[in-house]
Amino acid sequence: MTTEKKYPLPTSEQENIEEALGVLWHQSELMENRLEVILPLLEETVNKEIYKTLISKELLKEENNKILLTEKGENLAKDITRRHRLAERLLSDVLALSSQAIDPNACKLEHIISTEVAESICTLLGHPTQCPHGSLIPKGDCCEKATETIEPIITSLDKCTPGSKGKIAYLILQNHPDLHKLLSLGLIPGTPFNLHQTFPTYVIEAGETTLALEKEIAEKIFVRQ
């Protein structure tokens, strides 16, 4: 009983609000806030009443035919987006779910993961900066403090020592075309690896391929040991 009161399950209205705020955050990343675009999108993805609900709860406001998040709304939108994208990373990197199963399950988890749990997941995964789809994960307090109270199970290759073994978890591809070449050479998520040396280059054996990588590339490769 005490647990239920302390960590109540979200109501359907709360879930709808969080879902809508997640949509608004994503649209803000796309630099889109026009009323004629946002309103139909909210009605399609949530329901027809959600816009009025968000206005009444002072989570957003309308100015010059544009929809803007209030400070309160922005904080909540950032939080739900962070929880969703961390859930995606957890489902992808730790539970190894298929790409088709990640998003629908993350949509369920985002509503029940508390801020404290999100911080622990983030630390456990080594403070990932992007979701599996390449979208930025908003930083939390643990990222700012670089919390090390829980040893990460996912870490970047440049932090590994010679002799480290495991599997490739994911690669941060954004704005780094060289990493696409690595994918074509077989350095893909799930591939077993063995790190032979870290100086002057990172020599890694992955599958049937042995590669010598610069530090800036090793920083973009995340592994599970």
CATH code of the domain occupying 154-224: 2.30.30.90
pLDDT, residue 202, reads: 94
The position carrying tokens 């949530």 is: 46
Q: Residue 99: in which H helix or E strand, if any?
A: helix 99-109
Fold agreement between 1-151 and 154-224: no
Indicate the pTM of the whole model: 0.71
Say yes or no to pLDDT of 23 above 80: yes
Residue reference for tokens 């050479």: 185
Sign of the dihedral defined by the CA atoms of residues 193, 100, 123, 72, in that order: positive
CATH class assigned to 1-151: mainly alpha
- Spatial distance between the Cα atoms of 165 and 136, rounded to a whole number of angstroms: 28
For 179, the token pair is 């990493």
pLDDT of 131-142, one tens digit each? Answer: 988 899 999 998
